[in-house]
Amino acid sequence: MRVVIQENYEKVSLWAAHYIADKINNHKEDRPFVLGLPTGSSPIGVYKELIRMNKAGEVSFANVVTFNMDEYIGLPKEHDQSYWYFMHDNFFNHLVDMKPENINILNGMAEDPEAECARYEEKIASYGGIDLFMGGIGVDGHLAFNEPYTSLTSRTGVRILTTDTRIVNSRFFGNDPEKVPAKAVSVGIGTVTDSKEVLVLISGHNKARALQATVEGGVSQKWTCSALQMHNGAIIVCDEPACGELMVDTYKYFLDIEKNERL
């Protein structure tokens, strides 16, 4: 696992955006570059920088197909808290060459959510899998909506949100956890770890325990993000405040190897 420690959120965002743009620009295969994307506050800075680069002609999305991680069940796409709305508002609507038909987001209003999830997995497979999945994590270490004790081999399916997650996400629902949908459709941990590369953004003090569990803890379904330890192409990009629970040795180790990476 690679852990890239940056000073703050802005630098995390710039590092990740440039990493992704480089991957897209260096993709020389005939098939499109397949990019997995998250919602939340963590990726907003990355989206802003990718939009800037796209408008400046530094990266094109014309040959990029995207798959989002998750969606609330029961929110129509026009709802301002649906992840469909979030992605269009914060990213897709601002790109100059993203093709709408290349955007894939789970439908939280599907009559048969399990069938919708099976269709999603098939569609990912039809492109030959995901090249790079960007993610964020919850304070309890959830990756997409894979809450603690979700199987580390799980596939796309229906998820029940924990009370903790509904409380954390209630900031977008008038601070009322009851207004946060209780269920979601989400890619599985296995879906994410099947990707060639997984890049996870972790910023802020409130994510320090989750970062520690991801990097230093054992691989455990209690912290679903810890599955990344078994992935050969996992990169964590984190800021200084998120490193608060790491051992000094761990912190120095990763600074050291990243410094040598640049030599």
Measured from the CB atom, the residue of 109 and 139 that comes closer to ligand GLP is 139
Q: Does 165 bind ligand GLP (CB under 6 A)?
A: yes
CA-nearest of 139, 159, 161 to 42 is 139
Paired sense of beta strands 234-239 and 2-6, if any: parallel
Q: Does 144 bind ligand GLP (CB under 6 A)?
A: yes
101 assigned to active site: no
Rounded to whole angstroms, the Cα distance separating 231 from 194 reads 9
142 assigned to active site: yes
**Of 40, 129, 177, 241, which one interacts with ligand GLP (CB under 6 A)?**
40
Please, which of residues 51-70 interact with ligand GLP by CB under 6 A?
69-70
CA-nearest of 152, 145, 147, 131 to 226 is 152
Q: Does 199 bind ligand GLP (CB under 6 A)?
A: no
Choose the binding region for ligand GLP from 16-24, 39-47, 87-95, 110-118 (rule: CB under 6 A): 39-47
Q: Does 154 bind ligand GLP (CB under 6 A)?
A: no
Measured from the CB atom, the residue of 32 and 243 that comes closer to ligand GLP is 243
Measured from the CB atom, the residue of 137 and 235 that comes closer to ligand GLP is 137
| Shortest distance in whole angstroms from residue 161 CB to ligand GLP | 8
164 assigned to active site: no
**Of 42, 66, 154, 214, which one interacts with ligand GLP (CB under 6 A)?**
42
Asked if 185 contacts 77 with a C-beta cutoff of 8 angstroms, the reply is no
Measured from the CB atom, the residue of 98 and 202 that comes closer to ligand GLP is 202
Q: Does 197 bind ligand GLP (CB under 6 A)?
A: no
Measured from the CB atom, the residue of 110 and 255 that comes closer to ligand GLP is 110
Active-site choice (70, 131, 197, 239): 70
**What torsion do the CA atoms of 69, 222, 208, 226 make, to the nearest 10 degrees?**
-60
| Shortest distance in whole angstroms from residue 95 CB to ligand GLP | 21
Measured from the CB atom, the residue of 32 and 91 that comes closer to ligand GLP is 91
Active-site choice (142, 194, 197, 239): 142
Q: Does 145 bind ligand GLP (CB under 6 A)?
A: yes
Rounded to whole angstroms, the Cα distance separating 160 from 74 reads 13
Active-site choice (131, 147, 194, 239): 147
- The binding site for ligand GLP (CB under 6 A) comprises 38-42, 69-70, 136-138, 144-145, 165, 169
Residues annotated as catalytic (active site), given as ranges: 70, 140, 142, 147
